[in-house]
Amino acid sequence: SQQGEEDPQALSIQEGENATMNCSYKTSINNLQWYRQNSGRGLVHLILIRSNEREKHSGRLRVTLDTSKKSSSLLITASRAADTASYFCATDASTGFQKLVFGTGTRLLVSP
Amino acid sequence: EPEVTQTPSHQVTQMGQEVILRCVPISNHLYFYWYRQILGQKVEFLVSFYNNEISEKSEIFDDQFSVERPDGSNFTLKIRSTKLEDSAMYFCGLERQSNYGYTFGSGTRLTVV
Question: Three-class SS string for A61-95?
Answer: EEEEEECCCCEEEEEECCCCHHHCEEEEEEEECCC
Confidence tier at A1 by pLDDT (50, 70, 90): very low
B89, B99, B104 ranked by CB distance to A31: nearest: B99
Q: pLDDT at position A2, please? A: 40
Query: Of A101, A99, A108, A98, whose CA–CA distance to A37 is shortest?
Result: A108
pLDDT at B106 over 50: yes
Q: CB within 8 A of B91, min separation 6: which ones?
A: A42, A43, B6, B34, B35, B36, B37, B43, B104, B105, B107
Distance from CA of B50 to the nearest CA of A (A): 9
Q: Would the CB atoms of A43 and B91 count as touching at under 8 Å?
A: yes
In chain A, count H helices and then E strands.
Answer: 0, 11
Residues in A whose CB is inside 8 Å of some CB of B read 2, 4, 30-31, 33, 35, 40-45, 48, 50, 88, 90, 92, 94, 96-105
Q: Would the CB atoms of A97 and B35 count as touching at under 8 Å?
A: no
**DSSP 3-state assignment of B92?**
strand
Is residue A102 within 8 A of residue A86, CB to CB? The reply is no
Other C-beta atoms lying within 10 Å of the C-beta of residue B84: 9
Distance CA B38, CA B107 (A): 12
A50 - beta bridge partners?
A31
Q: pLDDT at position A36, please? A: 95
Confidence tier at B27 by pLDDT (50, 70, 90): low
Is residue A34 within 8 A of residue A46, CB to CB? The reply is yes
B2 prior amide bond cis, ω within 30: no
Q: Would the CB atoms of B107 and A41 count as touching at under 8 Å?
A: yes
Interstrand relation of B75-79 and B65-68 (parallel, antiparallel or unpaired): antiparallel
SS3 content of chain A, % helix, strand, coil (to 5): 5, 55, 40
Q: pLDDT at position B99, please? A: 64
pLDDT at A95 over 90: no
The one-letter code for the residue type at B37 is Q
Q: Would the CB atoms of A42 and B91 count as touching at under 8 Å?
A: yes
B44 at A interface, C-beta within 8 A? yes
Confidence tier at B48 by pLDDT (50, 70, 90): very high
